[in-house]
Structure formats: C-alpha cells, structure tokens
Amino acid sequence: MTLDPQMIAVMEKRATLTGGASDLTGLTLDEIRTVYNTERAWWNEIAPEMHEVLNTFVAGPVREIPIRIYKPTHLTQTPTLLYLHGGGWVVGNLDTHDRVMRLLAELSGACVVGVDYALSPEYRFPVAINEAQAVLDWLKIQGPNHGLDSSRLAIGGDSAGANMAVSVTQLCHQKNPGLIQCLLLYYGAYGLTDSAAWQKYGNADFEFTREEKEFYLASYLSTKEDRNDPRFNVLGGDISLLPSAFIAAAECDPLQDDSTALYEAMQKAGRSATLKIYPGVLHSFIHYSRMLDQATEALRDGADALKAALG
C-alpha cells in the first residue's frame, strides 16, 4: 500500500487549514465543528456554477429541515439525487459539501437535493433518518413543482450519509418498492463493528482512529441496542430491498471492508451493484478535488452511474 502523492499533498494542506487540531478528544463539540467547517471552506471555495440554487425548508418531525436544490441546467423534470452529507452524524452541513453536490449535478445533469439533517448529539438516532424520510416524502409530492422528476430518483451520500442513504432506501421500499432506482454511496459505514481494514487503517497515520469512531457512534446512538438496529446496521437489514448501487471505497480507510461487505451482500441477494476501490486515498477523499484527481474521478464515476440508472 502506497499513498497517492496527491493524497499526501492534501494531508499537508489539511494540516495547515486545521492548525494541527486533529485530535477530537481535546476539543469541545463547538470547537470540533468550527475546525471542520473552517477546513472544509477552502475546499469549497471554487465550485461549478449552477443554473439555479434554491434554499428552502421542508416540514419535519421535530423542526423545519433546511434543503438546497442544485439545478445544473435550465431543463425541467430532470432526474433527482437526494444527497445526505457525511460527518459522522455530528459535523457537516450543506456548505461543507457544496462543491461535492455541485460537481455531482454538473457531471450527471441531475438535480441534486441536499439535506441539512439534524446533527447529533443534540438530535440522536433516528431523528436524522426520520428527517431524510420526510424530505423524500416531500420530493414525491412537491418535487414536480420545483422541476424535479421524482419518478427518476436516486439517493446518495458519503460516510454517515451513505449509511443513512441505505437505511432510508430500505425503509422506503418496505412500503413503496422501486421508488428509488439508484444508490450512490461513498465510503459508508454499514454496520461492521470490526474488520481487517480497521486493524490496518484505524489509526492516526490514516487520519481515522478507533477513538474517533467511538466518539461519533456515542454521539449518534443512545444505547448498545441501537448498534444492532437495521436502521443503523444496514447490513442486518433487508438487502433485497435495495436498487442498483454504485459503491465507492477508499483503499486506506478503516471503512473499506464495510463497502466490500455491502457489495457482497447485494451480490448474494441478486441485486445489481458495482464496487470500486480507489487506491492510495483516505476516507473523505471526494472532498479534495481541488488537489486530488481521484476525487474528481470518483465523482465522475458516480455521475455516470446515475446517468445509466436514471437516464
């Protein structure tokens, strides 16, 4: 295993952006979010122009949910991607993932609807999932009024957002089979409690430690039983309910085996899935397309999968 030289350059840039504040244990929750938002701001400074960007709200189970609709062209009734950002359910928002969503819209021609779901620990599992479901229900009814074709619908996300995308799809297809036609998943956590990848890459050298994992899980989940809930441990859910999926993984990521496990489970269940592991890159690599060619490649691959699935 050799890190991509561009990935090493990214790591060096990130160190300057965070001021070396990489250890979560010494920071308050507000400080963690401030460091994350500040670091992500640089990666989002340059982003594709959209025909229209609309910020609005959807009524949710506990509050109004902010969403952002990215329209790459003037065309109406285009396919739609509902996108759930990563950040361990604790950090992240529409701005931290703005460039990712704009690139997916530009490269696929689909409208992208980003969801600013409620973060933990203020709102614990399953509030964020319930909010994503509420936005999905809104899309089915109100989407056409905003030029969104809810009959050609995909759900995607990165990391925690990829976990939620699978969970929401499983829940949706229990009542509305086939509503979601494609999953676009980047380095998600799907339910493995330990793996060879965690043994190999779960340390500070690869910028994702076991202590960080436990911090995120303890913030998101309330009980040990939650870790086995199929809305979190989606590998324990009904894999046969899933549509076609593009599953992207980073080689040097402790979550790599989660992606492989989901791909193998879908194969076993007779579901269509593509797994691509990007060599020499770390978790969260799709954020770094300003410096990392493989980030752009992964987003383009995902956009191509969307076009193939949704037309």
Which residue blocks in 143-234 are alpha helix, DSSP H?
A: 160-175, 196-201, 210-220
159 is catalytic: yes
Q: What is the torsional sign of CA 36, 305, 58, 160? A: negative
30 is catalytic: no
**Cβ neighbours around 289 below 10 Å, total:** 21
Q: Distance of CA 72 to CAs 4, 31, 49, 128, 142, Å?
A: 31, 34, 8, 27, 19
283 is catalytic: yes
Helix (H, G, I), strand (E, B) or coil at 274: strand
Distance CA 54, CA 71 (A): 8
Residue among 256, 234, 287 nearest 97 (CA): 287
Beta bridge partners of 183: 155, 245
Q: At CA 43, angle to CA 260 and CA 163, rounded to 5?
A: 30
Whether residue 187 contacts residue 262, with contact meaning beta carbons closer than 8 Å, is answered with: no
The tokens describing 1, both together, are: 């295993």
Return the biggest CA–CA distance within the chain. 49
Distance CA 130, CA 144 (A): 22
Annotated active-site residue in 85, 97, 146, 283: 283
Whether residue 254 contacts residue 198, with contact meaning beta carbons closer than 8 Å, is answered with: yes
Annotated active-site residue in 159, 259, 284, 289: 159
Distance CA 301, CA 138 (A): 28
Annotated active-site residue in 229, 253, 257, 258: 253
Residue numbers annotated as active site: 159, 253, 283
